[in-house]
Homo-oligomer: A and B are copies of this chain.
């Protein structure tokens, strides 16, 4: 990774991440780092000879299955990218032979994965060069090219096909896989355990004339064995086109390309490059003065665009994107609070899909609230299709006893419903698209407000409305009372619902569509609800700054042991032990997992003095472990609000590099949690746009309050505001900012 700040501008060399040596320690992480995806499927950046042992996988968006009592998790398709290389009878794989040369590269400007590997063999050297991409315009397709040469005549054998022995965390997810070859194509038809989903994988290859093919159909695998007499210096070039579909897809696909005779690779790769070229023309953020930041940030945007469900009307993005089954492939608050802004400002169709996912899963949220005896909508903490709550009551394994630990993410992290409302309101406010109300948005906001209303308690002796026994964003402290962030977001929800009901109540005829207005009036006592929510917004308790300006994260937080993160780390008895829960090292201290008060202050910065923002930044930053990838970007953003761009910068970079650099937490207790970090990617974008560029929106107008890190010269990017692209250029010249905001 070339990450040095060389002040070079954006050129071809900066659009890639790469490495030029093979390091088996990086196999797992590289699966995430070199991921290619197109919203429909995520193809882990593993090598062709890898199998489930190295976590090779083609992850399918929004398709979930459950085995027995294990966690539900998304399906990985039978892997159609497997290739085994045999030269003169010797199997060449990095897993068994150290390569003489090895290069791995993700060219994220064009969305193509590259690999070069060479081995010394008895008679000389054998080299392979391969590529792959997931088709952005036709998301059921991916393409692979695999080329081999040698510096000597050589008997080549290539075994390639569909490997149905897929990587599963809680599998196996296929009850059966039927494999067959027909008309020269290979097929795998895999049925999920619950028989709900059938995954069909079909592959066609283009191979050199003169090569021999034999079909091997054995347990869970269907392969072609290709034999070829390779002459010295000749390239054996194989192209594979893959089509993946399921019977649950929104649109069924007919794989037309498979009728072609010609090798489709060059044409489709050109189309792929054109797609990404068009994307970058709008979405790229150009930073002069900091190539490293620019690379990291745009790599983050590559991740977001790759995972975006452009093929769907109501799909969302899981916390770990399409990088595999970790975090159960579930959608968290990450989407609304961290990813949404990027799509809102550059790709509103995707933003709407994310929002619609929540509207369409309202029944799941109503059912969850009912289960707990609450009113309204309690969204799933880990949401799968139809709003199914994937979060169990036991999310962490105790490293000391091997027992599952009762966690409260599912039942007490109630701020999730407010995140849904926040996303909806942000979407409507920014896009002006009020069709969302008609599609269930209004019910969603009202039901979330009803949920919070049913949580409110008040001392019989009097006082504010309170929300007790919750978990805030900082998950290390369970079952706390009056988490400031949660209460403020509940207040936001009450105010949003009250505002909408007020509009409707005043003059239903003035509401954008009569049908929605009528429906709501039939379903709800509008006036009564409006008043109830307005009162709740007024009366809910919000912790206030103390004499030092510090806002207490929850009741009693400031009385906990005040200890620093390193001291706490030194108390660990096992590096994998969980810091939170009832007895974790952090539980009875002020050390927190991630931004908590800081999010509140950042989202509602205008409600607090600069002094309070800054005091709390310093106070909580010193006590935050950043055990979540959702943390750094918030401290960066808030630091920008406090005009501390140089303090913001390392947190911004940490967020932007989350998946490039890796090294994040791969384990929670004994559970593997590695994968892409889409919230960090989205957070880096927020930092750039709202933080360093200082953008805010007011009545469809852009306002600027930039504050660059010392070494930044300029930022250029485009935003889609009020339906029109605006090209923004902010230059810092002699300490002054020059701003251009032109038609894009």
Contact = CB atoms under 8 A, between A and B. Distances in A.
Nearest to A372: B556
B401 A573 contact: yes
A461 interface: yes
Contacts of A692: none
A460 B456 contact: yes
A153 interface: no
Interface in A567-616: 573, 581-583, 587-588
A101 to B, nearest CB: 49
A582 B460 contact: no
A405 to B, nearest CB: 6
A450 to B, nearest CB: 9
A536 B460 contact: yes
Nearest to A393: B588
Nearest to A456: B460
A405 B588 CA distance: 10
Interface string A447-466: 00000011011111100011
A359 to B, nearest CB: 25
B465 A460 contact: yes
State the number of copies, please. 2
Nearest to A403: B583
A456 B459 contact: yes
A744 to B, nearest CB: 48
A453 B457 contact: no
A398 interface: yes
Contacts of A457: 457-460, 466, 468
A458 B460 contact: yes
A504 to B, nearest CB: 22
A403 B568 CA distance: 14
A310 B536 CA distance: 58
A320 to B, nearest CB: 27
Contacts of A453: 460-461
A31 to B, nearest CB: 33
A453 B463 CA distance: 13
Interface in A146-195: none
A665 interface: no
Nearest to A408: B582
Interface residues of A, number: 28
A49 interface: no
A352 interface: no
Interface in A403-454: 403, 405-406, 453-454
B405 A583 contact: yes
Interface string A647-658: 000000000000
Interface in A368-382: 375
Interface string A389-407: 0000100001011010110
A469 B583 CA distance: 18
Contacts of A466: 457
Nearest to A453: B461
A237 to B, nearest CB: 58
Interface in A478-493: 479
Contacts of A461: 375, 453-454, 456
Greatest chain B CB density within 10 A among A453, A460, A466, A536 is at A460
Given A468-B468, A468-B469, A469-B468, A398 B459 contact: no
Interface string A519-555: 0000000000000000010000000000000000000
Contact of A406 (B456, B459, B588): B588
Contacts of A375: 461
A460 B540 CA distance: 10
Greatest chain B CB density within 10 A among A393, A457, A587 is at A457
A460 B454 CA distance: 7
Nearest to A402: B573
A582 B398 CA distance: 12
Nearest to A459: B457
A127 B296 CA distance: 90
Contacts of A400: 398, 400-401
Nearest to A588: B406
Nearest to A463: B457
A727 B454 CA distance: 59
A573 B461 CA distance: 46
A337 B128 CA distance: 83
A174 to B, nearest CB: 32
Contacts of A458: 457-458, 460
A405 B400 CA distance: 14
A461 B467 CA distance: 13
A550 B537 CA distance: 40
Given A468-B468, A469-B468, A573-B401, A406 B460 contact: no
A520 B603 CA distance: 52
A403 B571 CA distance: 10
Interface of A: 375, 393, 398, 400-401, 403, 405-406, 453-454, 456-461, 465-466, 468-469, 479, 536, 573, 581-583, 587-588
7 closest Cβ pairs, A-B complex: A582-B582, A456-B460, A400-B400, A457-B457, A458-B460, A460-B465, A454-B461
6 contacts: A375-B461, A398-B400, A401-B573, A401-B583, A454-B461, A457-B460
Given A398-B583, A453-B460, A458-B458, 7 more contacts: A401-B583, A406-B583, A406-B587, A454-B459, A457-B466, A460-B536, A582-B583
